[in-house]
């Protein structure tokens, strides 16, 4: 993953690059570093952990050329040596890199001697190939170096004294903005000011100087590029008074769902009517995979069509049986998830009936997809997906309703949901207190509740580091019950009237083995002895399709509370990153 930034201009302050790197921390925060050039000297500062650590340790410097990096480690331990920028052996080239150089071992043998390499990274060889290209022009040397690399990369490179930044990319995003006498390079346009910017394409090269940025093809010939408009407002990515992005983002859910509903009413759905579809595959990773499971349920229920959800990595590993009548739906908040992108490429070989549902309309996934539906969730910063997940579910619901020609019903149901969500608040602090020190937590439910259980358990494990697992309620007795001991919390989800009794029977079987039961239900339970539960919450019931959103929000709040009570940062869980751009 990793986030990279480069700035060239007059008297750029380190604080400016820290601010931009902070916006890229969703891409990884194992370590961070900068290299700034002043009076023909490179000043390099690196720290492990978040940008704030670097900000605290690095003196306030300013210079004319600066590059920065926030790392999610793939090659080499998390330490200062492996943190970027990485310098060439003679210290004249400094490189920040996002991606994986797959042939780095081979290149090391060819281009560097052992004592020249001091890091464990795959990036160091890039700096050293550049250093070796002595006879060549800088751009020629840079192109030659990039041509040696197999795998994926977004690179921003400084050469001492050149007063230039060299950039290129392959399979990883990279953007450029030139305003006045300043050019900024970044992994995501959220680092830019409002205005025009350029999206780098694979095989393109750019050189930024004080007064301009020029783009070249692989032969070093100048190319002209179409500028795009920067639409994000910086205010959208502030915490707005909330202690954490995660809580702010959960709170934004109803407003985002309303925006989505409004937008989906403007879409011309006639393309769907022209498609003959025999089956549906929905593909995503993590939470996006869970929303695919919900989507598959909607397809089966409302359209009586064979629909299956798959994690993108499994779709890639399997002999996927697709034909030109198969509809493939790809779901990804970032639109940059490597497995999902590879899965899309695999599907494109068999079918053109492809829809991608993403939050980032300039993402790689969007650019490769014949049809793109936006999630309309706005920027999501917290690593744990919240509003994007719920908006994905609403997108899928509206897509299915559009196919069923029931858009008006869908709009009514979604608007009703968003109104009820506006008034929805839940104090889960007592439950959070009760489970926060547990080692194992179980989530159970049936049908749609089971999918919500999967998502609830993922949310809690990723930001609390407690081992939480979700099971179909009916599966407990087939093995999992062996793990139930005295006081183990079991979170029980019940939203479907038809399944209430069966789910509760499973819960009581766990209770008989000593479990503590905590219930989230949206069905009246008059005949049930609530004393058998150690805690419970009654949630609003909108309809069988969308009530899962209340359960989801409740479980997001629970995970958030547990994380904070354990003294953790819910926005930046260990070992994870928001955008997973490696397979």
Would you name the residues annotated as active-site residues? Answer: 2, 578
Measured CA to CA, the distance from residue 450 to residue 433 in angstroms comes to 24
Task: Report, in Å, the least distance between residue 190 CB and ligand AGP.
Answer: 14
* Helices and strands of the chain, counted as H and E runs: 18, 25
- Residue 469, phi then psi, degrees to nearest 5: -135, 145
Task: Report, in Å, the least distance between residue 572 CB and ligand AGP.
Answer: 11
Nearest to 402 by CA among 491, 278, 303, 279: 303
Measured CA to CA, the distance from residue 31 to residue 44 in angstroms comes to 14
Measured CA to CA, the distance from residue 355 to residue 469 in angstroms comes to 31
Task: Report, in Å, the least distance between residue 286 CB and ligand AGP.
Answer: 2
Measured CA to CA, the distance from residue 489 to residue 511 in angstroms comes to 10
**Strands of 285-335, DSSP E:** 306-311, 326-332
Distance of CA 335 to the CA centre of its chain: 8
Measured CA to CA, the distance from residue 511 to residue 533 in angstroms comes to 9
Task: Report, in Å, the least distance between residue 230 CB and ligand AGP.
Answer: 21
Nearer to ligand AGP, 204 or 249 (CB): 249
Distance of CA 318 to the CA centre of its chain: 24
- Which token pair is 100? 């994986």
- Which token pair is 292? 């695919």
Nearer to ligand AGP, 393 or 580 (CB): 580
Task: Report, in Å, the least distance between residue 153 CB and ligand AGP.
Answer: 20
**Angle at CA of residue 472, ends 467 and 476, nearest 5°:** 75
Nearer to ligand AGP, 47 or 380 (CB): 380
Nearer to ligand AGP, 334 or 395 (CB): 334
**Strands of 417-496, DSSP E:** 440-445, 467-472, 489-494
Task: Report, in Å, the least distance between residue 332 CB and ligand AGP.
Answer: 3
Task: Report, in Å, the least distance between residue 365 CB and ligand AGP.
Answer: 8
CA distances from 157 to 20, 67, 138, 164, 191 (A): 17, 8, 11, 9, 18
SS (H, E, C) 83-151: CCCEECCCCCEEEEEEEEECCHHHHHHHHCCHHHCCCCCCCHHHHHHHHHCCCCCHHHHHHHHHHHCCE
Binding residues for ligand AGP (CB under 6 A)? 285-288, 332-334, 337, 340, 383-385, 462, 579-580
Residue 290, helix vs strand vs coil: helix
Nearer to ligand AGP, 246 or 435 (CB): 246
Nearer to ligand AGP, 340 or 547 (CB): 340
Measured CA to CA, the distance from residue 52 to residue 572 in angstroms comes to 13
Nearer to ligand AGP, 65 or 548 (CB): 548
Contact 331, 396 (CB under 8 A): yes
Residue nearest to ligand AGP (CB): 286
Nearer to ligand AGP, 462 or 545 (CB): 462
Task: Report, in Å, the least distance between residue 288 CB and ligand AGP.
Answer: 4
């Amino acid at each position: 993953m990793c986030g990279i930034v480069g700035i060239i201009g007059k008297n750029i302050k380190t604080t400016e690059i820290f601010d931009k790197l902070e916006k890229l921390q969703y891409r990884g925060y194992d370590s961070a570093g900068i290299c700034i050039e002043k009076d023909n000297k490179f000043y390099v500062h690196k720290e492990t952990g978040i940008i704030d650590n670097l900000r605290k340790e690095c003196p306030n410097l300013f210079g004319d050329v600066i590059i920065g990096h926030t790392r999610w480690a793939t090659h080499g331990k998390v330490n200062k040596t492996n943190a970027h920028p990485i310098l060439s052996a003679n210290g004249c080239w400094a490189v920040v890199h996002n991606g994986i150089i797959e042939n780095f071992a081979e290149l090391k043998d060819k281009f560097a001697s052992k004592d020249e390499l001091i890091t464990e990274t795959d990036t160091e060889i890039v700096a050293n190939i550049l250093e070796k290209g002595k006879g060549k022009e800088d751009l020629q040397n840079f192109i030659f170096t990039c041509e040696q690399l197999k795998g994926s990369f977004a690179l921003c490179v400084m050469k001492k004294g050149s007063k230039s930044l060299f950039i290129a990319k392959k399979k990883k995003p990279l953007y450029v903005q030139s305003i006045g006498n300043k050019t900024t390079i970044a992994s995501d346009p959220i680092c830019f000011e409002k205005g025009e910017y350029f999206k780098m394409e694979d095989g393109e090269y750019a050189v930024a100087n004080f007064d301009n940025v020029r783009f070249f093809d692989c032969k070093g010939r100048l190319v002209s590029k179409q500028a795009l408009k920067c639409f994000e407002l910086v205010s959208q990515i502030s915490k707005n008074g909330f202690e954490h992005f995660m809580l702010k983002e959960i709170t934004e859910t109803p407003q985002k769902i309303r925006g989505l509903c409004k937008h989906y009413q403007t879409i011309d759905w006639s393309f769907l009517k022209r498609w003959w579809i025999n089956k549906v595959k929905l593909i995503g990773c993590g939470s996006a995979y869970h929303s695919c499971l919900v989507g598959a349920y909607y397809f089966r229920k409302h359209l009586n069509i064979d629909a299956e959800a798959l994690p993108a990595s499994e779709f890639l590993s399997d002999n996927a049986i697709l034909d030109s009548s198969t509809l493939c739906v790809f779901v990804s908040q970032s639109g940059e998830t490597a497995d999902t992108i590879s899965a899309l490429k695999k599907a494109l070989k068999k079918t053109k009936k492809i829809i991608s549902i993403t939050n980032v309309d300039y993402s790689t996934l969007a650019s490769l997809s014949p049809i793109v539906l936006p999630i309309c969730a706005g920027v999501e910063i917290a690593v744990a997906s919240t509003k994007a997940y719920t908006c994905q579910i609403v997108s899928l619901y509206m897509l299915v309703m559009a196919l069923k020609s029931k858009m008006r019903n869908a709009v009514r149901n979604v608007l009703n949901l968003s109104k009820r969500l506006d008034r929805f608040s839940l104090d889960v602090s007592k439950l959070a207190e009760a489970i926060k020190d547990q080692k194992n937590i179980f989530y159970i439910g049936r049908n749609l509740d089971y999918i919500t259980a999967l998502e609830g358990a993922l949310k809690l494990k990723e930001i609390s580091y407690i081992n939480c697992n979700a099971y179909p309620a009916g599966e407990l007795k087939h093995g999992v019950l062996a793990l139930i001991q005295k006081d183990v919390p079991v979170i029980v989800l019940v939203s479907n009237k038809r399944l209430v009794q069966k789910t509760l029977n499973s819960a009581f079987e766990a209770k008989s083995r000593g479990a503590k039961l905590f219930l989230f239900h949206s069905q009246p339970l008059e005949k049930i002895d609530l004393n058998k539960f150690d805690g419970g919450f009654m949630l609003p019931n909108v309809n069988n399709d969308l009530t899962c959103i209340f359960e989801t929000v409740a479980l997001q709040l629970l995970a958030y509370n547990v994380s904070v009570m354990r003294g953790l940062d819910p926005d930046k869980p260990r070992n994870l990153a928001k955008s997973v751009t490696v397979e």
